[in-house]
Every structure is written in C-alpha cells, then in structure tokens.
Amino acid sequence: MTSPLFSPLALRELTLPNRIVIAPMCMYSAVDGKVGDFHTMHVGTLAQSGAGLFILEATAVTPEGRITPLCPGLWDDACAAAWAPVLAAARQHSQMPLAIQLAHAGRKASCAAPWLSRGQLAPDAGGWQTLAPSPLPFEVGESAPQALDAGGLARIRDAFAAAARRADRLGIDAVEIHAAHGYLLHQFLSPLANQRSDAYGGSLENRLRFPLEVFDAVRAVWPAGKPLGLRVSATDWVDGGWEIEQTLVLAQALQARGCDFLHVSSGGLSPAQQIVPAPGYQLPFARRVKAETGLTTIGVGLITEPQQAEAAIADGDADLVALARGILWNPRWPWHAAAALGAQIAAPPQYWRGAPAEAGHVFRR
C-alpha cells in the first residue's frame, strides 16, 4: 500500500517526491546579511534528509527587515553571491527542491539573537529604527516603530520583487512570502498592529491591500513555472485580532492571483496571545483553508511522529506537513518515517549501509 506521506505532489512545474517539508528556521548565523560556512553545513545536512521540500530560513529583503543583525538577506547582489556556494554544495549531493522564505520583520526587527538576550537592540548596541504600519511597538517599553509612508511601502514592495529575481537567478525552486508570526505583512493584516486611517488600514479590504500588492509584485517577476506561496498566521489568538475567517478571505484573494500554496501557522503578533500548544494544534486551520478554498496547504505545529504526519495527509488536514524543531533534533526524521510507514526514500548511497536490517528496504536505489 502506498503511503500518503510519501506520495508525490506537483506544484506548477515542480514535483515534490513526498509531502514532508522542512519549515524555515532562523539560524542567526549570517554576517551583514551574508551566509557562510555555517549555512553550508546546515543546508547540506538537511538537504540529505530526504524531505520533499526544504524552505530556507526567513531572508530579509532589506537590511532593516532583518529580525536580528545575524539574519541573512537577499537585498543586493553581494548577499546573493554569498548564497551561491552554499546552494551549489547542497545541490552537488542532493536533488531536494529548495525554496526560500522572503521576509521583512517590521516592528519585530532589530532584536538580538535569542541565545544572547531578549528584546530589541538599541541603536548604540547594533540596533536600528524599525518600520511598521502604525507606530505601535510589539511590547511595552520598546521603541516605537516608524509608520511607513507611501514611499516606504513602494520601496519594500519593490524590494520583495528584487529579492525574488535574485532567488530565481540562484536557481531557487519556489518562494514563500512571510506574512505570519507578527512580522511586517502580518502587521498590516491584523487590526491589533494596523491602525492606519488611509487605504492600507481600517477595513479588511484595506488591511489586505499591502500584502496583496507584495504578492502581485513577486508573482509578476517570479517565473510562471515555479511555485509561489505565502506563510500566514491563521489567528492572532487574541480577541479582536486577526482570525481564521479573515484568513479565508485572504486565501481566496491569493488564489485568484495565482498563489500555489498557503503555509498555515498561527500567533506571533501580540504578547497577549493565549495559546495552548498540543500535537497538531494548528492543523484545523490548514484543514479549513484546504476544504473551503481548494488551495494547497502546508500544515505545521508539533507534528513529531510519522503516523501523525501520515494521518494529517490521509485525513485531508493538509497537503503537506512541515517540521521545524523536530528535524533539527533528528535530521534523519524522513528516513525513520519511511521505515515506519513502509515507504522508500532517496538518500546518499554513502549512508545506505547505516540502515538496520529491518529497515533495509527504505532507501531508493
């Protein structure tokens, strides 16, 4: 019997060999926006995991869009040149499709790497002026962001498109636009962060406007044969904030614009959020998007066991499942899942003899 988790999925001209996605995970290991040796090792390791798609970490489209000074960028050709050898090394030994998440952190930028300290960095400590829809800080006591004017909106919209062009020149297979977890595009969507009185604030139609403009700008330059999707927080988990019904309206608008997938997460917009995490706790959001719009969905959130991931696909909760912390802990998770589910998976022949006798069938030869 064929395993649903290990069945292929086509997105435009890209065919994923299975439904396991490596979610974008911040590594905080770049220098002036440029990746280096750490990323060669990190990307190379996960590119040999056998997953169906690897989405590279949140990559800033402008310098002030970084979450921390150690986040990677794709805002100029020097940043792109730093990515080139990292990707080349991975591709030399892996056929795994590679996507990249393009992002702008908005008011949640200018922070220290989490293992160094918590909260925003002051300008004299390596921080910078943050930008947002409205001058509302993420947390009490933080410096207020500067509200974006028309020129600032145009600059950021164009920066997303320019970064997508660079990603294409690097041979990236797909792009995911980051509109989740309280970062800039999510800030425009949520009435908790967006209190503008112009055409980009107030009504749901207005709050959708800038994220949709960014999507349109990227779709216009991204090759027609390559998938383009969006990561979204389905709810803020705060009364009066962004919620699933509004997410469905966004999903329908994106679908009409040629969106290929929605990566459905939640939260991150407000410290007041009330979340009780549990295995698969975000899958109901992905299920609704999939059922009510027909968009291809990526489900995520404490998906840790092969049978759990298999059930999510088989039961129609999502079309793909994404792992983040779980695959950092166990970079061979897809191998073990294939063994548990009676499936086969691609892996470097140098590792074939590592399989125990009872899992000898797992590697596709």
CA atoms of 220 and 164, how far apart (whole Å): 10
Question: How do beta strands 53-60 and 98-103 pair?
Answer: parallel
CA atoms of 362 and 340, how far apart (whole Å): 9
CA 149 vs. chain centroid, Å, equals 26
Strands (E), the chain: 9-11, 14-16, 20-22, 53-60, 98-103, 131-132, 146-147, 174-179, 228-233, 261-265, 297-300, 320-323
CA dihedral 24, 29, 31, 37 (to 10 degrees): -100
Contact in structure between 236 and 191 (CB atoms under 8 Å): no
183 is catalytic: yes
Show Cβ contacts of residue 3 under 8 Å, excluding neighbours closer than 6 positions.
310, 338, 341, 342, 343
CA atoms of 164 and 153, how far apart (whole Å): 17
Active-site entry in 183, 200, 281, 351? 183
Instruction: Tokens for 25, please give them.
Output: 């995970």
Tokens 């800038």: give the residue. Answer: 210
Supply the residues annotated as catalytic: 183
